Amino acid sequence: MRITMTEHDGCFSFEMAAETMADAALLTRYATNVTDNVRNAGAYANKDGTFNGHCVLAKRRKASSDIVRRK
């Protein structure tokens, strides 16, 4: 999965691009089950010079799994 973050005047956006069929299935489940409720978000600067960020979005209570997760 390729994720690109962009800053706009009033928001930040995350663009996601599937690179495999598993990514495509994950994006489809995401689009079907995600809500607009941001549960947690943050960014960190680590001592080793790396930077990490995260954004946790809520999932519908009765999430659909029509596209089965494969391992």
- Is 5 strand, coil or helix? strand
pLDDT digits (tens, 9 = 90+) for 11-66: 999 999 999 999 999 999 899 899 999 999 999 999 999 999 999 999 888 777 66
Nearest Cα to Cα of residue 69 among 33, 44, 15, 41: 33
| 10: Cβ contacts below 8 Å, ≥ 6 apart | none
Instruction: Please say whether the dihedral angle defined by the alpha carbons of residues 9, 14, 43 and 62, taken in this order, is positive or negative.
Output: positive
Is pTM beyond 0.85? Reply is no
32, burial (CB in 10 Å: exposed 0-12, middle 13-18, buried 19+): middle
Domains of the chain, by residue range, sit at 2-59
Question: What distance in Å separates the CA atoms of residue 57 and residue 60, rounded to the nearest whole number?
Answer: 10
